[in-house]
Amino acid sequence: MTAPTTEPAAPTPAAAHEPPVIELRDLRRTFPGEPPVEALRGVDLTVHRGDYVSVVGPSGSGKSTLLHILGLLDRPTAGDYVLDGVPTRELSEQDRSRLRGGRIGFVFQSFHLLPHRSVLDNVLLATLYSGVPRATRRTRALAALERVGMSHRLDFLPPVLSGGERQRVAVARAVVTSPDVLLADEPTGNLDSSNSAGVLDLFDELHRDGLTLVVITHDDVVSAHARRRVRISDGLLDEVA
């Protein structure tokens, strides 16, 4: 598996005038204990529309905590998180859930597909709570699966698919709602080198199509596909030149 030989496309000029998709200001997350655990310590991060950002770091560096906050699955102890111009810190759980369903796509290391539902059903289910009109759900699900090269597996169940195919279905599920940002957590962690390369090539294609990606990883090869690289260590972020 090798890094791409060409630079991904830069954001369009129009994107530079839009609010950032993600803006973190002095973000902190402390877990109670004796002593308290400072998982994130004054994190600042701006992700513009069309960016492709990797956050790389070892286990215990704060990657998972950052992902949970970016995905509105957890709240910071202090600081601000603004998602596409919407301050999220004081939102109710219902509003956070609505924002998460409509603006964030998730891809996880373990796929998180329902094993007894077909490929098509797994993608369709992602549209139920995201505001996608009922009349367009099937059309959009079919288009998303076509986009990731899985339209020939619509009626298959996830357990009979390869790891790479399952991750492609997970990507289709993540993009079917046209999210503002795709968050990927160790997306190649359960894949061999060939399937990993296929998923990373797919991410490159999605980015060229204008999707904003943030990839959490410990793998320098995975992070090298991103246009921007950010390293996290002991809860602190540093941009990598």
The candidate with the shortest Cα–Cα distance to 182, out of 231, 146, 226, is: 226
DSSP for 33-79 reads: SSSPEEEEEEEEEEE-TT-EEEEE--TTSSHHHHHHHHTTSS--SEE
Has residue 52 been placed in a domain?
A: yes
Has residue 75 been placed in a domain?
A: yes
Has residue 6 been placed in a domain?
A: no
Spatial distance between the Cα atoms of 212 and 72, rounded to a whole number of angstroms: 17
Alpha-carbon separation of residue 201 from 75, 93, 164, 204 (angstroms): 33, 35, 12, 5
In this structure, what CATH number is given to the domain that contains residue 68?
A: 3.40.50.300
pLDDT 10s digit of each residue in the chain, 241 long?
A: 444 433 444 544 445 568 899 999 999 999 998 899 999 999 999 999 999 999 998 888 899 999 999 999 999 999 999 999 999 988 999 999 989 988 999 999 889 999 999 999 999 999 887 778 888 999 999 999 999 999 999 999 999 999 999 999 999 999 999 999 999 999 998 899 999 999 999 999 999 999 999 999 988 889 999 999 999 999 999 988 6
Has residue 116 been placed in a domain?
A: yes
Task: Name 174's bridge partners.
Answer: none
Distance of CA 29 to the CA centre of its chain: 20
Taken in order 115, 162, 190, 214, the sign of the CA dihedral is: negative
Has residue 1 been placed in a domain?
A: no
Spatial distance between the Cα atoms of 53 and 225, rounded to a whole number of angstroms: 9
Structural domain span for residue 93: 13-240
Contact 121, 156 (CB under 8 A): no
Has residue 4 been placed in a domain?
A: no
Has residue 2 been placed in a domain?
A: no
Has residue 146 been placed in a domain?
A: yes
Number of domains in the chain: 1
Q: How far apart are the first and last CA of the chain?
A: 22
Contact 44, 237 (CB under 8 A): yes
